[in-house]
Structure 1
Amino acid sequence: MARPRQALLTRERIVEAASALIDAEGLDALSMRRLATELGVQGPSLYNHFATKAEIVDAVAEAVVARVDIGVFADCDWREGLRLWAKSYHAVLAAHPHIIPVLATGPGRRPHGLAMAEAVYGALIDAGWSRSRATHIGALMRYLITGSALGSFALGFADDPGLYDTYPHLHRAHELPAHRAAVDEGAFELGLDLLLAGLSDHYDQGVRR
């Protein structure tokens, strides 16, 4: 019986395997040798598709951003568009937290990253915000979204009741890790609500520059 043929090595397979490895073990776990082992190929074959590890990481970041819904801006006003986009982006980052440090540096040359920036910026400009204020709003949204997904506030406290005996206002802080999802998601939702409410007030008052 003939042996089954090995699946053709493609950029898509490489990116999928790299993404799975980063999701499971973090950016530091990724190397060309480790990735080749995961794919069952010889290391040099990867270089037929990517010149460096950095290119692979960039491709993984691009694939993650491609999952964010930017089509919402075509169907909503700028306020609801920002809300739905922010929630989509936040959910994507929550599913791929280890790639956030790469995305937090900005879109670079990645097409999907640039398309997302264009969609957000364009929606704000079309709504009447000045270019400088639209830039500020885009940056502010990125700070909220990436910052809230980068680390857990709730997990920053130890599960040790005795640790907080001398801090009367923190006497229940040890309970926070057990309620990570509620705390962290609640904080993101609150921050998003307040941010959009403040922007909406400025907009309605004509303060758009």
Structure 2
Amino acid sequence: MCRMARPRKPLLSRELIVETASALVDAEGLDAVSTRRLAAELGVSGPSLYNHFRSKDEILEAVADSVSAQVDLSMFAAEDGRDWRTALHDWAHSYRSALAAHPHLVPVLAQGPGRRPAGLRLADAVFGAMVRAGWPPGHATRIGALMRYFITGSALGSFARGFVDDATAYNPADYPHLGQAHLLAEHRKQVDEGAFESGLRALLDGLTLQYEELKHE
């Protein structure tokens, strides 16, 4: 009789380590990741991880970069045809969606791209598109910064979830204007996404005024 070949364990790779670490971060937060925990999850010895990454921090950097790689940058391509304002609007929504899917990684991403390739491609795409649209380099740099502040800030937490769903917590004698605050959590998506869109439009309106002023200087 022919013996059935025993299934082989999947070969350890950078991609598998990043995927496993990402799942841990999403489920339990940044503190859940350690080389010992990852080795146990992957069914390998701890030292084998060092064939691919030099440290836990390097693994987390790769996980963060994998999130940046999920952000759509197609709107910044020269051949795309979207004007700078529309491109920023569409990109901001794609960026926020990627961050919202991995909220525990937002503090890492908020620090900036560092040496992360996908993060640097993102920064390069935004800056290049703004300069190509006629923004002076200094302004283009500030636009990239303020967009990152706004998007990462919006993804750090939920305004709606910051209020408990207990009406008795909002005594009218103490908080006369919070009579409906206990309903916010129930409408979290509508509140949080609506606030993001309102803020984004206000930000872009302000930039549009600056852009027109620059054209007439």
Q: TM-score range by the shorter chain?
A: over 0.9
Q: CA deviation at 1:100?
A: 0.6
- 2:168 corresponds to 1:162: yes
- 2:208 corresponds to 1:205: no
* Corresponding residue SS for 1:67: coil
**Corresponding residue for 2:188?**
180
| Unmatched 5+ stretches in structure 2 | none
Measured against aligned partners, the alpha-carbon deviations of 1:31-87 in whole angstroms (never above 9, x if no partner) come to: 111111111111111111111000000000111101101111121111111011111
**Corresponding residue for 1:126?**
132
- 2:18 corresponds to 1:10: no
Q: CA deviation at 1:206?
A: 2.6
Q: CA deviation at 1:205?
A: 3.0
Structure number with larger C-alpha Rg: 2
Partners in 1 of 2:55 and 2:90 — Cα distance? 35
Measured against aligned partners, the alpha-carbon deviations of 1:9-28 in whole angstroms (never above 9, x if no partner) come to: 01110001111111111111
Partners in 1 of 2:73 and 2:53 — Cα distance? 28
Measured against aligned partners, the alpha-carbon deviations of 1:138-162 in whole angstroms (never above 9, x if no partner) come to: 1111111100011111111122211
CA RMSD across the alignment: 1.4
Contact 1:32 1:46 in 2 (8 A): yes
Measured against aligned partners, the alpha-carbon deviations of 1:93-132 in whole angstroms (never above 9, x if no partner) come to: 1111111100000000011111110110111111111222
Normalising by structure 2, report the TM-score.
Answer: 0.92
* Corresponding residue SS for 2:184: helix
The worse-fitting range, judged by mean Cα deviation, of 132-141 and 54-63 is 132-141
- 2:54 corresponds to 1:51: yes
1:195 to 203, 210, 214: 203
- 2:155 corresponds to 1:149: yes
Partners in 2 of 1:72 and 1:119 — Cα distance? 9
Contact 1:154 1:177 in 2 (8 A): yes
- In the comparison of the two structures, how many residue pairs are matched? 209
Partners in 1 of 2:216 and 2:201 — Cα distance? 19
The worse-fitting range, judged by mean Cα deviation, of 107-116 and 132-141 is 132-141
Contact 1:128 1:208 in 2 (8 A): no
Change (3 A) 1:40 1:4: same
- Code of the residue aligned with 2:45 in structure 1: it is Q
Normalising by structure 1, report the TM-score.
Answer: 0.96
**Corresponding residue for 2:44?**
41
| Unmatched 5+ stretches in structure 1 | none
Partners in 2 of 1:135 and 1:80 — Cα distance? 18
Structure 1 stretches of 4+ with a deviation exceeding 6 A read none
